[in-house]
Amino acid sequence: MAIRGAAVVDWTGRFEQLVAHEATLAGDELDELGQAAWFVGRDDVSQRAWERAQLRFLDDGDLVAAVRCVFWLGFTLSEHGDAIRAGAWMARLMELCARPAATPATEAVRVLCAATAAFAHGEAAASLPLYRDAIEKADAAADHDTATLATMGLGRALLADGRVPEAFATFDSVMLRIADGLVSDRAAGPAYCAVIASLLARGDIERARVWTRELGDWCDAQRGLAPFRGECTLHRASVMQLGGEWAGAVAAAEQVCATEERTETLANAWYRVADLHRVAGRAEAARDALRRAAALGRAVQPALALLHRDAGDIAGAWAGVSAARGAAVDPSTRAEVLTAAVRIALDRGRTDDARDAAAELAACAALFDTVHLRALTSRADGELAIAEGRPADALPRLRAAWAAWRRLDAPYDAALTRVAIGTATRDLGDFEGAELEFDAARAVLEGLGAIPDLMRLERAAAASPAAADPGLSRRELEVLSLVSRGWSNRRIAEHLFLSERTVARHVGSILAKLAVPSRSAATAYAFEHGLAPTR
């Protein structure tokens, strides 16, 4: 389902055109200047324009338009953390809405502000009827912007009240309202960002991916856009990382680091950069980015704990992830922390600790019930079953996780799951099946450049029993058999559905284990010891 085709809007050009004649602008033109200035990051001009516009509208007897300007004044000031002035303008809005000339449209805005205030004070349940009332009043007044913002608020309140399926359905309805083409850009931007942020925080990657694509199209259509560009790009980076587009994700996140001014968005961008460097084995770059994120007030777990794990400091990794378990609030971050806790506990040989973390993860997945969280839970349960010597129990859980990662088009997580499948398969005595799983995971991890995980894979694969006296694995025997036929690496790769790089590594390992200098010498050894095919 596609959101409306966004028409290209040149906010920079419109701003320059309007600001040049600011002194003579009418009320509606001042309102438009306020929006254009906000979109290009000129908050001083937008506030001045909206202040003048609301006065001009009041002089003209247009209370609805005056309330709209005051609302956006309070909204933008609140977005920039100026709580005192935002509160003053919200009080002004309430005073205007109480005037005898108030209309259904102004009443809808008043109720929306009351709902938002209740939600901001932690009263999610109390805000629900207010948001619904605001939606009803706004729809009756054909005020599409207010209705959309109220629907967005309702979704967030439902989430906070634990009513997850209703919340996700409400977020979908926000996007459908925008799809109708009746919502202005000034309301569409905040609605997009708030919905996607909520979805990512709750682990609903499927919805987040769809709406992030639409947000990207919308951002690209807004020339000169400043307020949402950083968040839009960062949402894209998160989705791209999950989808294995690591180079693009790094470029996107670093772009936000170079241009973003808002502290929270900037801190999140540095954390995203750190995590992308970490999975690629660039430890120093990851640590530097984490330092920047921490300086801006961002929690740096579980990325820091996983860096310790990659460096072999399992005690330090456990200390970090243990502390983070008590601090992680949003479900997505909590799931990441608990997933790391399971792995680090298993690295320490502490299956009881791993079981506790896996149980917490399962509870989180049960509450929010998204494909992403269910996949994390299934994989954690499978890895725990392997550690407890129950490979037969592990396999169905791991295969369910792998299917979920495939559904989410998440190659990195799918590859990590195949490593665990290979381990369980090997523990059941199917050494050739294990080699197939390891090879499939290796090809993906090599393509991504996931160096730390490749090293862990090689340690896991090296634990496979030797299949012949020279110490060759079953896969190496298979490759040697084809080498002895005179096949090239490319032909072998195509025949075995491997990458040429993987075949080359197998050939190098064969030469080393046989202590021979060349392929021809390995072929001679194969014929001499009965390892070559008979024809």
Element (H, E) at 222: strand 222-223
What is the residue-level pLDDT of the chain in tens, covering all 535 positions?
Answer: 344 445 678 888 999 999 999 889 999 999 999 999 988 888 889 999 999 999 999 999 999 999 999 999 988 888 777 888 888 998 999 999 888 877 888 999 999 999 988 998 899 999 999 999 999 999 999 999 999 999 999 999 998 898 888 998 999 898 888 877 788 888 888 888 888 888 887 778 888 888 877 777 777 777 776 666 788 888 889 888 998 999 999 999 999 999 888 888 899 999 999 999 999 999 999 999 999 999 999 999 999 999 999 988 999 999 999 999 877 677 788 899 999 999 999 999 999 999 999 999 999 888 888 899 999 999 999 999 999 999 999 999 999 999 999 999 999 999 999 999 999 999 998 888 888 999 999 999 999 999 999 888 888 887 654 444 567 888 888 899 899 888 999 999 988 888 999 999 999 989 888 888 788 888 878 877 777 765 4
| Nearest C-alpha neighbor of 125 from the set 115, 113, 112, 135 | 115
Going along the chain from its start, the domains and CATH numbers come out as 1-222 (1.25.40.10), 228-300 (1.25.40.10), 370-465 (1.25.40.10), 469-535 (1.10.10.10)
Apex CA 470: angle with CA 469 and CA 474, to 5°?
80
Model pTM score: 0.74
3-state SS string for 469-525: CCCCCHHHHHHHHHHCCCCCHHHHHHHHCCCHHHHHHHHHHHHHHHCCCCHHHHHHH
Q: Are strands 9-10 and 222-223 parallel, antiparallel or unpaired?
A: parallel
**324 and 316 in contact (C-beta within 8 Å)?**
no
**241 and 275 in contact (C-beta within 8 Å)?**
yes
